[in-house]
Amino acid sequence: MVENPEELVMKFDPLVIDDLGAKLYSTLPPIISELIANGYDACANKVEIELFGTAENKSVIIYDDGEGMSFKEINEKYLIVGRKRRNVEEDTKKKKRCNRPPIGKKGLGKLAFFGIAKKATIETVQNKTKVVFEMDLTKIHNSGSVYKPEFVVRKNVLEKDGTKIILGNLYRKSDFDIESLKQSISNYFIFDEDFKVYIKKDGEKFEEITNDLRYEQKGRKEDFSWFFPETAEKLKLKDKYSFADTIKGKIILFDKPVKNNLRGVTLFSRKKLVNLPEFFPEQGSSFFFQYLTGWLEVDFIDEFKPDVISTNRSSLAWNDPNLQELKSFLNEVISFIHKDWRERKKERTNEKIKEKYNVDTVHWRETNKNNLTIVKNIDKIREILDDPEKVSEEEATDILGIAHSLAPNHADFVLWSGLHNKITDNKIIKEKFFDEKYLEAAKEAVQIYNEEVQTITGESQIDYRTLVEQVFGQEDTRKIWLTNKSTPSEKDIDEGCKFLSMGIMTGFRNPAVGHNSLTKSAKIKIFSDRNCLDILNTISYLFDRLEKRKKP
């Protein structure tokens, strides 16, 4: 042990220690975060946090494997309160082995631990020289404006470079909730391969604090996400905002509402929090924002003068002119994500209804395009169900499934359901109709009508024209009496059915309309679903008249 003839001296206004220490920081997470930031600025690759204590006596140890501090650096940097760090260190950052732009600006983070403890012991090693000194809040208050910490200097130590801060006799009485603390600390930093933070309690195994903890939501899962700068590139925002391609991050929509303290987008600069989660559009859907979270790195704001980051790094000075473009950028991005989220939810609802009910909603609408009532109602239903802020995907899926069962593809629901059962119960007609082979479906219906007439009359060896003339001919030759023909109206019905039957059979059983013609017609779609339903409806009427015939 070597007693150094020099002194460690801290000069200050006593009020500053309270205002920027105990009063500015009063809970464990932000205090530990400030000490972690000091390790980051010291080029540490690793920071370790150890928690100890019973209800009567609690302590915290924070160690970083950074560059440590020399006796001179302690005096000229660490013990100067409010030192403008950037003025010196920004010019020399490239000389540092880690080439990191510093997080700290005002040299105030060192006071943070006075928010939870009255005394701190600092042990720091640089180039085999270890300096141990004490920061005692009571002695600082009693010393006026000049505080001379007690210290010890040891030469030729075997310890590696780094700094350890020991906080004892914490004000805190409640137990340490290590899981909550891990998540809270993850909210303050963006970690990477070059900078990791570990924590343990009462001698247990160290656990790494990762970025994933920040948005770990029990009982919830990530639903949709947008990455940056990719999203900004997609929107071509670089043309409008010069910084657009420098912003990195991820915005997430969860499947269930997220915790209140995570709702909104968090901003980071130089890997550390600068703005708590916020909703940047001045107006927006409260429903949408319940599911929204994420983070963006906006490092360029650290270059702004005057400084736009608050002392406790929890908010930005949004009224500053330098931040107006960033605010506009964020507004535009969130508005796009809101719209894109709605579209993605709509697409997924379509996929779910297709999977659960085998319904393609676009095709469903298209096959009913000739029935304006059905189309109009489909559109009305979709307008309501496509809004995820009104109906859940599961509800929308089931409602659409029910609606489709009432008005299926090609349905022209009222017409189809009202057709004669000789048509609706015929598998061939049904299959061809729903396969969109409308001409073949109509031809098949004519065929079964022809067969029904033959069955009733017993005539099967005559051509269609002779058959119609004999069946619906003069009174002395006709074989089917649809009515008694005792009134003019009844006579008109009989004659009408005769000519309808002749027209139908002429149109669909004419030798000129053979297989090739049917195939060709189907390909060029000259015979629509509506045309087919018109024919089926006519044949349905004829079947109904046959059923109600007077003779035989």
Return the closest-CA partner of residue 545 out of 513, 497, 507: 497
* Confidence bin at 474 (pLDDT 50/70/90): low
Does residue 182 contact residue 199 with C-beta atoms inside 8 Å? yes
Pairing of strands 119-126, 129-136: antiparallel
Per-residue pLDDT tens over the stretch 170-187: 887 788 899 999 999 999
The whole-number average pLDDT for the span 105-121 is 80
Report the length, in residues, of the chain.
552
More confident residue, 254 or 354: 254
Return the closest-CA partner of residue 367 out of 411, 431, 403: 411
Instruction: Check whether 190 has a pLDDT greater than 90.
Output: yes
More confident residue, 307 or 402: 307
Tell me what pLDDT residue 293 has. 94
The whole-number average pLDDT for the span 94-104 is 71
Q: What is the DSSP string of 243-295?
A: TGGG-EEEEEEESSPPPGGG-SEEEEETTEEEEEEE--SSS--HHHHTTEEEE
Contacts of 140 (CB under 8 A, 6+ apart): 10, 12, 14, 17, 147
15-214 is a CATH 2.60.120.10 domain? no
Torsion of the alpha carbons at 104, 110, 112 and 116, rounded to the nearest 10: 150
> Which tokens hold the place of 172?
């805190």
Per-residue pLDDT tens over the stretch 338-383: 999 989 988 888 888 888 778 787 877 887 776 777 788 778 877 7
Per-residue pLDDT tens over the stretch 269-295: 999 999 999 988 756 667 889 999 999
**C-alpha 101: how far from its chain's center?**
32
DSSP code, position 2: B
Does residue 94 contact residue 121 with C-beta atoms inside 8 Å? no
Domain limits, the chain: 15-214, 222-334, 341-410, 415-548
